[in-house]
Structure 1
């Protein structure tokens, strides 16, 4: 009983320790490897994606900037060529002579005012300048893009009076109009490029140009007017510039009004003032903006460039600076970035899985020897014989296995010595028991030994003969429980035992398990008690007609 009670708490504690292990060493190693390996990898991939996205945006922005600048240079050359051509037209001898003749006839203010009023009331009364008109019409014979985009080509004299035209588009009197006034007073090198405005007569947006007509002294004597339909003038040069499905270049002015675009109509004003300010800088550049001017609100990359040469002429005309605007839809533009993100994400997932798999294999190789050591330690703790462990890892685990084997050998030797001692002691106990039993059996007197509860533990053969029962029948019973004959006599013996037991005083007590053990002093049963008369010790009882003398004494039950 004592052994069972002392061992059971140890077993419960061991099982509790195993139950408290929620996460094994293998799982900890795997998670550690994932944390150490995957976290820097993921951070590196995120940084790579951000840097790659930034670099890609920079490349796209630089490409858009270059495209916008190239287109602006191309449009500058187009405008410059058109200006050079019209300056040559304004210097045509017939045009110059006709304007000079009319100016001479109208030098008298009274006559000039009278003729202007009369011709204003009845334009048909004015004699057409057939020669000048023929020259102007000759300028338009070649079906060039600018000729096809022309809506008006005419000349006015120094007094703003219409003198020749290729059609009936222009008004008769231009006095007070900015294109006539600025050109007439601007000097020999002045070129007027007016703002793009909507014309009710043609139901389109028109772009006016004006050039001075100079005499031999390079004095302005008249004005050559050339009016173009804006979209038709630029579309042949700009709209073919496309890339991808939505990428294109368009032309806007500093107000954000569209001059030409493959998607937006001419005259459309970009609704976002922030966007307009972003793409109308002084120098070619590219920007990232929220919104694209085409109805989208996503992040967009836009390249822009002012028309440098044209800006010089427009600034003198108080017009609006023109800009090229390179754009592509965000979905299409950022598709490479999305693809890059997908590839990086896939690479990250695969890398994490590889790290996890390799970590699992590495953890398995590390944990297996530890588990073998753990099982060996458990068996050694239970006292089982364990064979020597063979762990060849070349590290601390191998050294630990060597120490465990050494400990196991020492314990086995200790256990062998203890077993020999136990066997020797057991043999001694068995010998003493047999010796004691032989003595008790050889004693002619009836002998019975009782436990602290006064239950029979041992009887010799003489006692068996007295009660006529075997030792197996008697063990574990008190004298009055046996149902023996002469019950009163046996009850007397039982009472004597009780009285004697109550007088025995233990010398000490100790606790073993959950039991308190009383320790008694041993006494030689053959030594007489200290009393005035030995006769007073003699007690008798009559059993089955025979008189028996009996004596009760105590023996050692437990020893320290």
Structure 2
């Protein structure tokens, strides 16, 4: 069959053109797809890393805040002495901002036995004894106290997803635990930043545990996720990075996913996070991810098809000049750009779609180059910020009132000081930097200073109180020393502060001389006290020979007459229940079947072992209805509280003691309390608590 050379050329050009077109599309598709996959994967991995750091930083900030609270001496004393009101003032102060109140479902402080001392929101379902709770057991894991972070759970009272962050409170003097602070966090509010991690229409972040259980997802409900075993192994096995997942648990196939481990939270120990590890997981629907590539390929197909048809019409020479050469240049340019030569420009001036395509690749290389340049600018900005921070740190060091030392925790060498350190020691900075920390102390204290240093490095903090150091001129200076292990310039340093107490100690010596003079006067008083003690022993011997039940009844009535108190009630334990066993000035029937509530003044007197007065309570109680102006005295036996004495006077003031009750004058209580203590001891010793009823 005859066929003209022109047709053959046209057919050859068509076949060659379409073969070239197919080959170019194939190469371009995989090159562009691989480049885009790599870039998207790195972006997803970076997003997952930043999200994990955000989770860690949020928990770190919460732990740091309450760690600082747990180290405040006033707060420690309040926990040690179980001062509920003082502790609640701290909690209320912390929750004064609405943001903190939204994040915290509750703040609870317990003592060393796991019993609640204070509760910021007084939730009714909180048991007083928390010692059998999982969070308390984990805080005391293996006989040691530690920070504890729980798994996410559903709060029984509010139905809100919550988690616990528990900070132990230590006694700085004995290093033993005094109690703990339990933070019940609203997970959806505390980790609300995860919602801002969404991008595009389907791109979003998740939080999952090592079992593949979704914990937080900003798009789909948790029950709609199904994490398959290969995906779980991929996330938990590598620790961090990106990959292409066959099934991304959201219905996507061959999806690019990013993931990372929560380093800080996962380092807390096996008992934390419900025994699991937590990971961030970033994904996007692959259809949305590769939409730019598909559009680009479609444009390339259209453009190249037009070019092939044009070659067929214009002939072999035009095809060679205007198609084959530009395509070769275009292909070479793409290869060089794909190999990282972003400075290369594809110079094609054919005035057609090929030139536009080349310009598109040039713009793409410029965009990628701009991305890297912006990254360098960000690095420079970060470096500048770090230098500014260092300048501020140096200014704080030099302006501090106390002497500050930065010490190498490995060998005790001083690496940095402030101006006050030179003033305190009389040594120059150069002399200080060439000596060990403990060489500042007298020879007799060097071993103690070394032990304190080693303990501080081991547990992260230490202190010495009212010790002496040597000055260059031979004099001694009294100081308080407190130290903590901190992070400085990406390395651990021992940050030590010395407060000069020399002037205060001199003043104390002057006071001591005055006290010696006072002690001589006190000796005369002690001789009189000795005579009174002998008289008291003789009276006690006489009392034991008399009917103690009759004496107690007479004693209570005499107490009423002497104090001017018009009404009294004696409440003692019948089993575990407080009941009225004797009264004066009131009908016994008015004091029967009294219900003692948890926040009743009687309970406060028994729990705190102190006198409770009417002026301390704004809430009306059953005592106000029967006693008017009143006080509650705890009856303290040898080993336990055996009851309370409620005393009051609703009528006119008839004595100075009654005036003390009305006005709350503390000096009046000194008259009544010893008498009440004697009553309690006699009631317990003689077993008269049931025989005193009259």
| TM superposition score normalised by structure 1 | 0.51
1:248 Cα deviation from its structure 2 partner:
2.7
Paired with 2:10 and 2:299, the residues of 1 have a C-alpha distance of 25
Within-5 A mapping of 1:168-187: 168=123, 169-185=125-141
208-217 vs 262-271, greater mean Cα deviation: 262-271
1:204 matched to 2:157? The reply is no
Partner of 1:305: 260
Aligned to 1:447: none
SS of equivalent to 1:135: helix
Question: Residues of 2 paired with 1:264 and 1:83: CA distance?
Answer: 30
Q: Does 1:161 align with 2:115?
A: yes
Question: Could you tell me how far apart the structure 1 residues matched to 2:311 and 2:140 are?
Answer: 81
8 Å contact from structure 2 (residues 210, 279) kept in 1: yes
Give the Cα–Cα distance (whole angstroms) in 1 for the partners of residues 264 and 110 of structure 2.
Answer: 27
Match of 1:57 among 11, 23, 37: 37
Q: What does residue 14 of structure 2 align with?
A: 34
Provide structure 2 residue ranges, at least 5 long, that are not aligned to the other structure.
320-694
Go from structure 1 to structure 2 and tell me whether the alpha carbon gap of 1:262 and 1:185 turns closer, same or farther (over 3 Å shift): closer
1:302 deviates by 1.5
Shift of 1:313: 1.9
Does residue 72 (structure 1) correspond to residue 26 (structure 2)? The answer is no
* In structure 2, distance between residues paired with 1:191 and 1:322: 17
Q: Which moved more, 1:259-268 or 1:165-174?
A: 259-268
CA distance in 2, matches of 1:263, 1:233: 17
The answer to whether the 8 Å contact 2:21/2:301 transfers is no
TM (norm. structure 2) is: 0.42
CA deviations 1:204-226 (Å, max 9, x no partner) are: 22111111110023222222111
1:287 shift after superposition: 1.6
SS of residue paired to 2:132: coil
For residues 152 and 70 of structure 2, the distance between their equivalents in structure 1, rounded to whole angstroms, comes to 22
Task: Classify the secondary structure of the residue corresponding to 1:287.
Answer: strand
**Aligned partners of 1:148 and 1:282: how far apart in 2?**
36
Relative to structure 1, the CA distance from residue 293 to residue 287 in structure 2 (aligned partners, 3 Å threshold; closer, same or farther) is: same
| Superposition misfits of 4+ residues, deviation over 6 angstroms | 186-189, 360-363
Q: Does the C-alpha gap of structure 1 residues 267 and 84 become closer, same or farther in structure 2, counting only changes over 3 Å?
A: farther
Counterpart mapping for 1:157-306 below 5 A: 157-166=111-120, 167-168=122-123, 169-185=125-141, 190-216=146-172, 217-235=174-192, 237-265=193-221, 270-294=226-250, 296-306=251-261
CA–CA distance in 2 between the matches of 1:41 and 1:246? 33
Partner of 1:405 in structure 2?
A: none
CA distance change for structure 1 residues 81 and 267 in 2, over 3 Å: closer, same or farther? farther
**2:229 and 2:301 mapped to 1: Cα distance?**
38
Find the aligned partners of 1:172 and 1:79 in 2 and give their Cα distance. Answer: 26
3-state DSSP class of the match of 1:223?
strand
Q: Using the alignment, how far apart are the partners of 2:88 and 2:148 within structure 1?
A: 22
Q: Structure 2 CA distance, aligned partners of 1:136 and 1:174?
A: 19
* Alpha-carbon distance in structure 1 between the residues aligned to 2:285 and 2:164: 33
2:74 maps to 1:91: no
Question: For 2:71 and 2:266, how far apart are their aligned partners in 1?
Answer: 24
Cα RMSD of the aligned pairs, angstroms, is 2.8
Which residue number in structure 2 is paired with residue 45 of structure 1?
A: 25
Aligned 1:95-110 pairs, distance under 5 A: 95-101=75-81
Question: Matched residue of 2:219: which SS?
Answer: coil
The structure-2 alpha-carbon separation of the partners of 1:160 and 1:95, relative to structure 1 and needing over 3 Å to count, comes to: same
Using CA pairs under 8 Å that are at least 6 residues apart, name the structure with larger relative contact order, 1 or 2.
Answer: 1
Q: 1:48 to 1:281 in 2, by over 3 A?
A: same
Q: 1:41 & 1:338 partners in 2: Cα distance? A: 16
TM-superposed CA distance for 1:335, in Å, is 1.2
Residues 1:149 and 2:103 are matched in the alignment: yes
Per the alignment, do residues 135 and 37 of structure 1 end up closer, same or farther by CA in structure 2, a change over 3 Å counting? closer
How far is the alpha carbon of 1:45 from its aligned partner? 2.4
2: CA distance, partners of 1:245 / 1:268 = 18
The Cα of 1:280 is off from its aligned counterpart by 3.4
Contact conserved, 1:149 with 1:228, CA < 8 A, in 2?
A: yes
Whole-angstrom distance in 2 between the partners of 1:172 and 1:178: 15
Instruction: Note if contact 1:42-1:348 (Cα within 8 Å) is conserved in structure 2.
Output: no
Distance 1:362 1:227, change over 3 A: closer
Give the one of 307, 313, 332 matched to 1:357.
Answer: 313
Contact map agreement 2:198 2:218 (CA 8 A) in 1: no
Cross-structure match for 2:664: none
Bigger Rg over Cα: 1
SS in 2 for 1:243: coil
